[in-house]
Amino acid sequence: MKIIAEVIELDIAYKDVLFDIIVNNINLGIAIVDKDGFFIYYNNVMGEIEGLDEQEVLGKHIFEAYPSFDKKNSTLYHCLNIGTPIYNDLQNYINGKGRKIFSIVTNIPIKIGDKIVGAIEIAKDVDKDEKTYKSVDNWLNKPKMKKVNNDKIKTNYYNFDDFVTCDKNIIKLIEKVKKMARYESNVLIYGETGTGKEIFAQSIHNISSRRDKPFIAQNCAAIPENLLESILFGTEKGSFTGATDKEGLFEQADGGTLLLDELNSLPIYLQAKLLRVLQEKYIRRVGGTAEKRINVRVIATVNEEPSKLIELGKLRQDLFLG
C-alpha cells in the first residue's frame, strides 16, 4: 500500500510540474479563483500582461487585486456566481498598481457536478498581437484630421496618375474607373493579394467630390471578430467592460470614404448590419439606442471571385448586388 501511495503522490507531483510548464510557456495569461473569489493560481504570462507579480495576487480577492472592478462590471465574478462562460470579452481596466490594462478575456466556471468550485480567466495581451494592437490602437487613438485652407483636410493618397503602365487593358480599366469614381455609388474591388486594390481605392477617393474629406481604411481580417462591430460602429459607455463613448470608423469617415479591405472576412451577421447601413445611411453604436445619420462612401475589396464567395457563404448576395 505504501508503494502505491508513493506512486500516486509521484504521479500527482509530475502532473503539477507538467501543468506549470505548459501554462507558463503558452502565450496566454491564466488565473484561477476559488469558489469565494480568491486567487489560487496566477501564471507568469498573466503577470506580464497585468504588470503584477504572483505574490501580489495570490490569496487576494478579485476586487482587492483589481480595485476598478465590482460586482456589476467584473466578468470573472459574474462567471463565478452565474456559472456561465464568457468568451473573448474586450476589457479595459485598472490593476492594483493603478496601471491601465487592455486585453481580451475569456472566463470559464469550474464545476464539479452542478456545484461551482471556482473559475478560470484566460487573457490575451492585445499589445503582443500586432495586427489586433494596430487596429484597436488606431481606432482608440486616431488623431483628429488636420484642416488647412478653406477647411480642407490635408491628405497624401495615391491617385490614377501614379499608375505607370503600357498595358492597354489596365489603361482602359483606369479610364473606366475614373468615370465611375465621380459618382456616389459604393464600390467593390476584386483582385488577388498584391494587385494594388488599395491604390485603386485611394485613387477613387482622390478623384471624387469627397477628396477633401477623410479616407479611412480597415482590414477586416486583421482584428478578432468580437471587436469588429465596436470598431466599425463605435461604442456607448458601459457596452462592455471599460467601454467609453467612442466613435466608430463610420463616424470618423463621415463625409468621406471608408475602405473595408478583405470584406469576405467580415462575419455574415455583420455583413447584414453593413447592408442596412448602406441602405438606410444610419448607424447605431454598440450598446446605444440612438441612431445617427452618416454620409460615407464605402469601397470594399475581396481577394476571391465574388460569385465563388457567395456560393461558399462568405459573402451575402444582397450585399454584393446592393
DSSP letter string over 198-237? HHHHHHHHHHSTTTTS-EEEEETTSS-HHHHHHHHH-B-T
**Highest mean predicted confidence (pLDDT) among 94-108, 241-255, 303-317:** 303-317
On whether the 130-321 domain is CATH 3.40.640.10, my answer is no
Average pLDDT value over all residues in the chain: 79
Model confidence at 173, pLDDT cuts 50, 70, 90, reads: confident
| Chain segment 145-168, per-residue pLDDT in tens | 433 334 444 445 678 877 777 778
Question: What is the model's pLDDT at position 137?
Answer: 52
Rg of the chain in Å (alpha carbons): 25
The residue extents of the domains of the chain are 2-128, 130-321
Contact 274, 319 (CB under 8 A): yes
**Highest mean predicted confidence (pLDDT) among 8-12, 51-55, 181-185:** 51-55
- Residue 125 pairs in a beta bridge with 103
> What CATH architecture does domain 2-128 belong to?
2-Layer Sandwich (3.30)
| Chain segment 190-234, per-residue pLDDT in tens | 988 777 788 889 999 988 889 889 999 888 888 777 788 888 998
Q: What is the DSSP letter of 61?
A: B
Residues 6+ apart with CB under 8 A from 119: 32, 33, 76, 79, 80, 107, 108, 109, 110
Mean pLDDT of 8-20: 51
| Chain segment 91-127, per-residue pLDDT in tens | 767 666 666 677 788 899 999 888 999 999 998 876 5
Question: What is the model's pLDDT at position 38?
Answer: 95
- Region of residue 292 (left: phi > 0; alpha: psi -120 to 50; beta: else): beta
The string of DSSP codes covering 251-278 is: HHTTTSEEEEETGGGS-HHHHHHHHHHH
| DSSP three-state, residue 131 | helix
For 213-227, letters b (16+ CB in 10 Å) and e give bbbbbbbbebbbeeb
Cα 275 to chain centroid distance, Å, stands at 20
